[in-house]
Amino acid sequence: MTTYPSTWRRPPQIVTDRRWRIALQLGILAYLVLAVGSVDVDWARVAAGIERGQRFVLGFLQPDFTSRWKDIAQGLKESLTMTLTSTVVGVAISVPIGIGAARNLAPRWIYYICRSIIAVSRALQEIIIAIFLVAMFGFGPFAGFLTLSFATIGFIAKLLADDIEEIDEAQAEAVRATGASWGQLVNYAVQPQVMPRLIGLSLYRLDINFRESAVIGIVGAGGIGATLNTAIDRYEYDSAGAILLIIIGIVMVAEYGSSYLRKFLQ
């Protein structure tokens, strides 16, 4: 009769070397201690803030839509128009750049130019772009429009280019075999394959642009963000709560609307 072990420990799954595991755990612990230690908190200020926090929560629960309605309406109008125009312009510019950034369609040098435009647009934060554009074009929604258009290019063109690179080569080959020109190739082989996704991405970007339009106002690029910034600066938490609720509401509507629209279009 053999005897069987009466203890069992789960073998480590990722880092199998015991020394490495201990070193890793110690490293994480040390980092956490250092990181938490470098956060110096002014507890008196936080305690004072609790009262304000309560007021904010109250403001959120009992939002005040009316007393600043004129400002809110103005901000919303700017945000919504900015969102739409920047998405349209951004997508319109993205299409040629996206095609140019697809390895299987564009000549080498165009490919590199388009990919670097995309890389620059993706690497820079919307806020940072907005700061510069506000400095150049002055305060207001026009700078916001430019910011969002630029950010849209990086997003749409990249995903579009990746999509085009993944299209079914057999279909493109078949069209090419008929002696089609480059333009006909794009029109017949590429467009039908990527169009549904482009529409989906555009709707998604519309949603993102609206959310972003609420932020870039903080640095002076117009929209509801500017109104929100003012409300918080004046400690008018009930108005701020109202604005946040409106933003959440519009985002929700946009999300449901765009998923509905995507289904409808397919």
Binding site for other proteins (CB under 8 A): 2-11, 13-14, 31, 35-36, 38-42, 45-46, 48-49, 52-53, 56, 77-78, 80-82, 84-85, 88, 123-125, 127-128, 131-132, 135-138, 140-142, 145, 211-212, 214-215, 218-219, 225, 228-229, 232-233, 235, 240, 244, 247-248, 251-252, 255
Rounded least distance, CB 89 to other proteins, Å: 8
Closest distance to other proteins from the beta carbon of 73 (Å): 12
DSSP string, 65-119: -STTHHHHHHHHHHHHHHHHHHHHHHHHHHHHHHHHT-TTTS-HHHHHHHHHHHH
In the bound state with other proteins, the residue whose beta carbon lies nearer, of 36 and 177, is 36
What gap in Å lies between CA 178 and CA 114, rounded to an integer? 29
Taking the least distance from each CB to other proteins, the nearer of 2 and 181 is 2
Which contacts (CB < 8 Å, 24+ apart) does range 167-174 have?
Answer: 167/104, 167/193, 167/194, 168/193, 169/104, 172/104
Q: How far is the CB of 194 from other proteins (least distance, A)?
A: 17
Give the separation between CA 62 and CA 95, rounded to whole angstroms.
45
Beta strands in 175-250 (DSSP E): none
DSSP assignment letter at 6: S
CB 107, min distance to other proteins, A: 27
Instruction: Please give the Cα distance from 105 to 181 (Å, whole number).
Output: 12
User: Whole-number minimum distance, CB 133 to other proteins, in Å?
Assistant: 8
Name the phi and psi angles at 205, rounded to 5.
Answer: -70, -35
Nearer of residues 106 and 186 to other proteins, judged by Cβ: 186
Burial label, 190 (beta-carbon count in 10 A; 0-12, 13-18, 19+): buried
Q: Which is nearer to other proteins, 56 or 100 (CB)?
A: 56
Radius of gyration of the chain (CA): 26
Cβ nearer to other proteins, comparing 156 with 247: 247
Q: Which is nearer to other proteins, 8 or 109 (CB)?
A: 8
As measured in angstroms, the least distance from the Cβ of 252 to other proteins is 6
